A and B are shown apart, each in its own frame.
Chain A
Amino acid sequence: MNNLSKSVLEKIKKAGLRPRPKWQFVAWRVLFWIIFILSVFVGGGAFGMIFHQLFGTEWGFMHKGMISPFYGVMLILPYICWFSVLGVMVAISFKTFSQTKKGYKYRPLLVIGISVFLSFLLGLFVYQMQLSHGMHEQMKGFGPYAKFNQKHDAMWVAPENGVLMGEILEISETSFSLKDMNGENWTIHFTDEDLGVEPGDRAFIMGEESAQSEFVATEIKVRGDRFERKFGPRS
């Protein structure tokens, strides 16, 4: 026995060292896989929210110049936030995957690509199942997201530019009352008798302010893509 092996053996015996139990290594590996899967899922949620913002925004209203360009930033901001969340999740998934037993054998770009792709598919599912809408509804009451959401929604209250957004309260034959995102009540007039909206729906309305708290709709869209209809101007 040479000096080093003697010294190693002595240290092992003196300190009473024992090999770490196998379950500890297995637990670490399982933990890495759990973090990897979770990060892909959270990434999927972020994608879902990106789709929710993308398809829930009235880009057409913006193109028509009905909201201030300043508020354009408010439209882009959610994407930056959710893409940042997605970026962090992809980084976590890559790091944890590379810590798995054979994770290092795969090229980083491949791992990142697969993680993004899986999150993308999950995001589509989340959006299709309207889970992203549910997530938005859950989050809109909390912290910075609530503040941002209020500001974001308030930018759609611009009757002078022909845009209104709010919650439908009561519906009659040719009009309904609406509480806008700033809490003001409006009477919205429309021409279609079979409008199909319900109290509680959140509607984007394009048209013209006809009198104090009166608005004539030329286009109404219920958030969530349930409904979209154009109207002729009320005579």
Chain B
Amino acid sequence: MHDDSQTADTELVALALQNPDYFTPLVERYEPKLFRYIRRFAGLSKECAEDVLQEAFLKIYRNLNDFDGDLKFSSWVYRIAHNETVSYLRKNKKKETVTIENNDPDMINLLDVLESDANVVNDAKKMEIREKVRQVLGELPQKYREVLVLRFLEELDYAEISDVLRKPMGTVATLLNRAKTKFKELAIKNHLTLLLHE
């Protein structure tokens, strides 16, 4: 099913194939999402994430003819950004550390994994919890972190995650379950669950 933004993306792709100026609106539309994703997933500094994102956009432009509307344009650009990030990490052999800003409000979304009914209203405590979530996320292996980030922070559905990671939906579901289990274990180890019920 194609929504309006998807139709607009497809039209912009067709136009950008004729004139690179039309690529600008696509960059502007996806830049914030992809920048956030790269930082959340790989824990890169702002500068590194910008470099990776720029390379990803250049690759997206060079491969525009490969996009044929079989999958969402958003999934396709997430895939290229993801691959570019993985490739950057491999080349730089960077020890990944999640350096998401402490004020990333979506971090709290990952608490859904813990199925906690705790209702955090205090801003200072929210900040502390976000920091703990960030820490737990940083300790997860890459294969678990990427699915958790895509599902709970980027809020992609299973089919979209399958398209981004080029993995079957069943594998995505299995990975997500394992990632949740691992996240819960690390949450307990890092006293995140205790913090929620204080």
Interface residues, chain A, with chain B CB atoms under 8 Å away = 1-2, 4-5, 7-9, 11-13, 17, 19-22, 24-25, 98, 101-102, 104-108
Known A1-B24, A4-B50, A105-B169: A19·B58 in contact at CB below 8 Å: no
In contact, B28 and A5 (Cβ under 8 angstroms):
yes
Cα distance A13–B24 in the bound complex, in angstroms: 12
Cα distance A25–B53 in the bound complex, in angstroms: 23
In contact, A25 and B62 (Cβ under 8 angstroms):
no
Total count of chain B residues near the partner, CB < 8 A: 28
By a CB distance below 8 angstroms, the chain A residues around B27 are 4-5, 8-9
In contact, B28 and A11 (Cβ under 8 angstroms):
no
Q: Chain B's interface: helix, strand, loop or mixed, by majority? A: helix
Cα distance A202–B65 in the bound complex, in angstroms: 60
Cα distance A1–B63 in the bound complex, in angstroms: 22
By a CB distance below 8 angstroms, the chain B residues around A11 are 54, 58
Min Cβ gap B56→A in Å is 10
Min Cβ gap A22→B in Å is 4
By a CB distance below 8 angstroms, the chain A residues around B31 are 2, 4-5
By a CB distance below 8 angstroms, the chain A residues around B64 are 19
In contact, B65 and A19 (Cβ under 8 angstroms):
yes
Interface centre among B53, B61, B162, B170 (most CB of A within 10 A): B61
Interface residues, chain B, with chain A CB atoms under 8 Å away = 16-17, 20-21, 23-24, 27-28, 31, 50, 53-54, 57-58, 61-66, 70, 162, 166-171
In contact, B62 and A17 (Cβ under 8 angstroms):
yes
In contact, B171 and A107 (Cβ under 8 angstroms):
yes
Q: Chain A's interface: helix, strand, loop or mixed, by majority? A: helix
Interface centre among A8, A101, A104, A105 (most CB of B within 10 A): A8
20 additional contacts (CB under 8 A) given A8-B54, A19-B63, A22-B66: A4-B54, A7-B54, A8-B23, A8-B24, A8-B57, A8-B58, A9-B20, A9-B27, A17-B61, A19-B62, A20-B62, A20-B66, A21-B65, A24-B65, A101-B70, A104-B162, A104-B167, A104-B168, A105-B168, A105-B169
By a CB distance below 8 angstroms, the chain A residues around B63 are 19-20, 25
Cα distance A227–B54 in the bound complex, in angstroms: 73
In contact, B28 and A12 (Cβ under 8 angstroms):
no
By a CB distance below 8 angstroms, the chain B residues around A2 are 28, 31
Min Cβ gap A98→B in Å is 8
Min Cβ gap A45→B in Å is 29
Cα distance A11–B171 in the bound complex, in angstroms: 38
A-B contact pairs, 13 of them (CB 8 A): A4-B27, A8-B23, A8-B27, A8-B57, A12-B61, A17-B58, A17-B61, A19-B63, A19-B65, A98-B166, A104-B162, A106-B168, A107-B168
By a CB distance below 8 angstroms, the chain B residues around A5 are 24, 27-28, 31
Min Cβ gap A12→B in Å is 5
In contact, A102 and B57 (Cβ under 8 angstroms):
no
In contact, B58 and A102 (Cβ under 8 angstroms):
no
Min Cβ gap A90→B in Å is 18
By a CB distance below 8 angstroms, the chain B residues around A7 are 54
Cα distance A1–B20 in the bound complex, in angstroms: 14
In contact, B28 and A1 (Cβ under 8 angstroms):
yes
**Looking across the interface, which residue of chain A has its beta carbon closest to that of B166?**
A104
By a CB distance below 8 angstroms, the chain B residues around A106 are 168
Min Cβ gap A9→B in Å is 6
